[in-house]
Amino acid sequence: MTDLVFLLLIFFIIMSLMANNQTPLDLPKAEQNLPTDQTPVEPTVLVLENNNYVVKLGDKESDEVNYTDMEGLITAAVEESGKTKVRIAGHKQADYESVFKVLGLSQFNGWDPVLAYDK
């Protein structure tokens, strides 16, 4: 019985080496070139070391603001982008409370918060 299994194994190994696995593919050509360096358009809240905030949307960036000013800025940025995903990036020296305030604001408004980090 083991001889038969061994012979079958050898047979399949030899057949797989002899088989031509190249299948021709007819792929479509691109009609236009898309820019590769696209700036993400999701609203981003940066929590700074001094627990102030910066709101970014694409290339636009606000000045350092406190929490109450950030609420209006991020709401306007979410409405302008049309997306409900909000990226939250915090400095490692920022207080947890500052980050959780943005998470709470996202939950209250029904946005999808995404915590970002740098490697």
**pLDDT one-digit tens code per residue, 7-58:** 999 999 888 887 777 777 788 887 887 666 555 578 899 999 999 999 998 8
Alpha carbon distance 81, 43 (integer Å): 7
Tokens standing for residue 18: 């002899």
- What type of residue sits at position 57? L
Dist. CA 27–CA 66, nearest whole Å: 53
**Tens-digit pLDDT profile for residues 83-97:** 889 999 988 899 999
The confidence band for 111, taking pLDDT boundaries of 50, 70 and 90, is very high
Contact 53, 65 (CB under 8 A): yes
pTM of this prediction exceeds 0.75:
no
The pLDDT score that the predictor gives to residue 66 is: 92
d(CA 43, CA 92): 20
The ranges assigned to domains in the chain are 44-116
Q: Are 59 and 77 in contact (CB under 8 A)?
A: no
Is CATH 3.90.420.10 correct for 44-116? no
Q: At residue 119, does pLDDT exceed 60?
A: no
